[in-house]
Copies of this chain bind each other. A is one copy, B any other.
Amino acid sequence: MTVKLGLVGTGTVGGGCIDILKNHREEFKRHYGIDVELARVCSRNPEQAIEHGVEDIFTQDFHDILDDSDIDIVIELIGGTTVARDVVLGALRAGKNVVTANKALMATHGEEVMRTAEEAGKEIAFEASVGGGIPIIDPMKHSLIANRIDSVMGIVNGTTNYMLTRMAEDDMPYADVLAEAQAKGFAEADPTADVDGLDAAAKIAILASIAFNSRVTIDDVHAEGIRNITPLDLEIAKDMGYCVKLLAHAHRTEEGIDVRVHPTMLPLSHQLATVNGVYNAIYVVGDAVGETMFFGEGAGSGPAASAVMGDVLEVARHLQAGIPPFVGCTCTDKLPLVPMEELKTKYYIRFAVADRSGVLAAMAGVFASHDVSVHSVIQRGKKDGNSVDITYVTHTAREKSVRAVLADIAKLDDVLREEPSVIRVED
């Protein structure tokens, strides 16, 4: 049996999939007995189809693929939650298996997609939606399932990791680094999804759902990005033995699931601390396995196509062996979410304040009034000579208390000179 594939989307990742099929189709047959054939390709862009030499099987209408009874697996690589949703749900309802790289779709409409797949008796696979080429969803759904997963922390956005690395290593301000990332093609013209942590939020929603067997959507994830991070913060962090990463967190706590994305200070000895540039890594803690980490390229044609085609070959193998659809939705529990205000962690807070007597005492009073206990204070003069940077690291405190501290300090008369930098500290 030859398993027939319908590809929707011929951008970077789609092109990578076409390349893999061209290069390795014979090996898939010889090594694994898996026989796959690219039968139909859909794109809005006929030029891309010609570029990849697939003009003879090309269409601009995805319905041609959904309506083609020969197609066994539909590969959705157009992204977004509108047309992509129609393609994915339509394909499943038309009795086709689906492989997608679409994090936004799975983090927003995951429940609907999983339910539709189960009703249709078809498979849905989405390894490429998180961490590019890094195998993470499959290991969590298979190799690690004997564990109660307690924690998932990931550097899952290559753009911001590249920017933070560049800021730290080359002392470049945010705006310059963003412009460079855009020039190099690492960041979009509208960088919002990356720099505000929304891309990472979608990914951690997917991972949290799998890790805790409880549905988490992108709307459940508190997301803060890196716009307020300065090279000075990175320098101070380094002096304290830390690095700063935009980290996606998902922790199992007694109160429920704690899931969030924000800049995080990590000890330089942490395994995630050496993950630099455009690389991604996901750190998973299970009750039996202990600490594990999965590292690799988080984006790009080859890595993402590796994950997509891994899924395609797995589904094709099932079809050839006559295996019924394999893993349905595993969100069997309904765990509560911990509200962000209830978060308990340590905080790094840098204030640029007026350089005059009484300021430090006034600020200390505010911290005390909200029961936020301070671990250390560092004062450094600013270059302008009129203001100083005062950096606090707190003991473990509650988010809502720290927010109250920030609000009250903002109200102090003629004290603050800039927006404070707030970075949560993971020890």
**Which A270-329 residues have a C-beta within 8 angstroms of B?**
271, 274-275, 279, 286-297, 300, 302-303, 305-307, 309-310, 312-314, 317, 321, 323-324, 326-327
Of A143, A310, A314, A332, most buried by chain B (CB within 10 Å of CB) is A143
B324 pairs with A146, CB closer than 8 A: no
Interface presence of A142 (CB below 8 A): yes
Interface presence of A395 (CB below 8 A): no
Chain B residues near A305: list those with CB within 8 A. Answer: 146, 288
Q: How far is the CB of A129 from chain B (nearest CB, A)?
A: 13
Chain B residues near A127: list those with CB within 8 A. Answer: 143
B292 pairs with A134, CB closer than 8 A: yes
Of A27, A289, A297, A312, most buried by chain B (CB within 10 Å of CB) is A289
A146 pairs with B292, CB closer than 8 A: no
Interface presence of A24 (CB below 8 A): yes
A133 pairs with B302, CB closer than 8 A: no
**Which A5-44 residues have a C-beta within 8 angstroms of B?**
16, 19-20, 23-24, 27-28, 30-32
Interface presence of A93 (CB below 8 A): no
Interface presence of A228 (CB below 8 A): no
Interface presence of A192 (CB below 8 A): no
Chain B residues near A323: list those with CB within 8 A. Answer: 321, 323
B302 pairs with A27, CB closer than 8 A: no
Chain B residues near A213: list those with CB within 8 A. Answer: 27, 31
Query: Which chain B residue shows the least CB distance to A213?
Result: B31
* A375–B8 alpha-carbon span in the complex (Å): 52
**Which A115-150 residues have a C-beta within 8 angstroms of B?**
127, 133-135, 138-139, 142-148
Q: How many residues of chain A get a CB closer than 8 Å to chain B's CBs?
A: 60
Chain B residues near A307: list those with CB within 8 A. Answer: 143, 289
Chain B residues near A139: list those with CB within 8 A. Answer: 135, 138-139, 143
* A133–B139 alpha-carbon span in the complex (Å): 11
* A275–B295 alpha-carbon span in the complex (Å): 13
Chain B residues near A148: list those with CB within 8 A. Answer: 23-24, 27
Chain B residues near A290: list those with CB within 8 A. Answer: 133, 296-297, 300, 302-303
* A146–B32 alpha-carbon span in the complex (Å): 11
A133 pairs with B330, CB closer than 8 A: no
Query: Which chain B residue shows the least CB distance to A300?
Result: B290
B309 pairs with A146, CB closer than 8 A: yes
* A135–B141 alpha-carbon span in the complex (Å): 11
* A375–B322 alpha-carbon span in the complex (Å): 59
- Residue of B20, B289, B294, B317 near A297 (CB, 8 A) is B289
- Residue of B142, B293, B317 near A296 (CB, 8 A) is B293
A32 pairs with B295, CB closer than 8 A: no
* A309–B279 alpha-carbon span in the complex (Å): 31
Contacts A148-B27, A321-B323, A323-B321; A16 near B143 (Cβ below 8 A): no
For the complex with contacts A139-B143, A291-B297, A295-B295, 9 further pairs of A-B residues with Cβ separation under 8 Å are A16-B288, A20-B146, A134-B292, A135-B139, A142-B314, A279-B291, A286-B306, A293-B294, A321-B323
A310 pairs with B30, CB closer than 8 A: no
Chain B residues near A291: list those with CB within 8 A. Answer: 279, 295-297
Chain B residues near A147: list those with CB within 8 A. Answer: 306
28 contacts between A and B (CB under 8 A): A20-B288, A27-B213, A30-B333, A31-B333, A133-B286, A133-B288, A133-B289, A135-B135, A135-B142, A135-B143, A135-B292, A142-B142, A142-B314, A144-B306, A146-B309, A146-B313, A279-B291, A287-B302, A288-B302, A288-B303, A288-B306, A289-B307, A290-B296, A290-B297, A290-B300, A292-B294, A292-B296, A294-B295
* A147–B330 alpha-carbon span in the complex (Å): 28
Q: How far is the CB of A95 from chain B (nearest CB, A)?
A: 19
Chain B residues near A288: list those with CB within 8 A. Answer: 16, 19-20, 133, 302-303, 305-306, 309
